[in-house]
Amino acid sequence: MAVSATAMNEEPRVVLSARGLSKSFGAFRAVNRVDLDIHHARVHALIGPNGAGKTTVFNLLTKFLQPTEGTITLLGTDITKTPADKVARMGLVRSFQISAVFPHLSVLDNVRIALQRPNGLSTQFWLPTSALNRLNARADELIEAVGLKRERDALAADLSYGRKRVLEIATTLALDPQVLLLDEPMAGMGQEDIGTVSSIIRDVAKTRAVLMVEHNLSVVANICHQVTVLQRGEILAEGDYATVSQDERVRLAYMGAEEA
């Protein structure tokens, strides 16, 4: 519907893909043989009831967890055995379901931490912190883009839950990643922030790939080109929102989840 037409017409390029991705915790199989293709310039939604394994899939793709089986390819490189920090440096950056900020640092410092490494300012132990001031212009741009200007000098810990999520998005964007994985980015946000973040994601996805877990189905309908439904660790359905939302099994899974 609101999905940009030009993006749909471009030849979609796969930037991140998983084949036969599985993860067992002891005898429990949290993710079972999942195949995923994430495309450049697309927003891809991963939905499904609580406990379906969405966060675990994120942990596997970003290598915060080692898959039990399967392979992951990022921008043509096999990253199945690559450590998490290296994966991030290769251009796959995630956010966390539980908001992840540096609580006792200011909003500005939070964003600057993200900017330090790509700008080669993270190992100098002999320079004063004022050397980081040259990151301020870019940091302020990002802070303004997500609407945190007024809170720039506040401690991250003092922000409301929704604003922390917004800050986390700003720090993620600071890395200018090729692929963004956002785990429930709008959970706990007010309507105003949902609007802001939706348009940011749509904007960002013009030149990058986004995979997001989202429970707010109107957001999914509005900004996602592709939807994958996960249930008990397996893919239940896949396609655009219209197709998936008509799927009888998906409706059942969602109703079932709501009843429980």
Partner 1 sequence: MTHGTSATARTERSASASKTYAAFLIIGLVLLIVAPAFFYPIFIMKLLCFALFACAFNLLLGYTGLLSFGHATFFGGAAYFTAHVVKEWGFSPELGILVGVVGAALLGLVMGYVAIRRQGIYFAMITLALSQMFFFFCLQAKFTHGEDGIQSVPRGHLFGFIDLNSSTNMYYFVLAVFLIGMVIIWRFINSPFGMILKSIRENEQRAISLGYSVARYKLGAFVMSAALAGLAGGTKALVFQFATLTDVAWQMSGEVILMTLLGGIGTLIGPIFGAGLVVTLQNYLATSQFPVTIVTGIVFMVCVLVFRRGLIGEFYASRLGRKLGFEHRR
* Binding residue for partner 1, selected from 1, 9, 27, 125, defined by CB under 8 A: 125
Give me the 164-193 binding string for partner 1, x by CB under 8 A, dash otherwise.
-------x---x------------------
Residue of 245, 182, 247 lying closest to 218 (CA atoms): 245
CA 30, CA 52: separation in Å to the nearest integer? 8
Residue 50 as a binder of ligand ADP (CB under 6 A): the answer is yes
Residue 51 as a binder of ligand ADP (CB under 6 A): the answer is yes
* Closer to partner 1 by Cβ: residue 49 or 67: 67
Give me the 4-33 binding string for ligand ADP, x by CB under 6 A, dash otherwise.
---------------------x----x---
Residue of 100, 96, 120, 97 lying closest to 110 (CA atoms): 100
Cα 171–chain centre separation: 12
Interhelix angle 161-174/136-145, rounded to 10 degrees, is: 130
CA 108, CA 170: separation in Å to the nearest integer? 10
Q: How far is the CB of 52 from partner 1 (least distance, A)?
A: 22
* Binding residue for ligand ADP, selected from 39, 53, 91, 165, defined by CB under 6 A: 53
Look at residue 131 and give its three-state secondary structure.
helix
Residues touching Mg ion, count (CB under 5 A): 3
Strand order in the sheet with 14-25: 28-39, 14-25, 69-74, 77-78
Contact segment (CB under 5 A) with Mg ion among 25-33, 97-105, 118-126, 171-179 equals 97-105
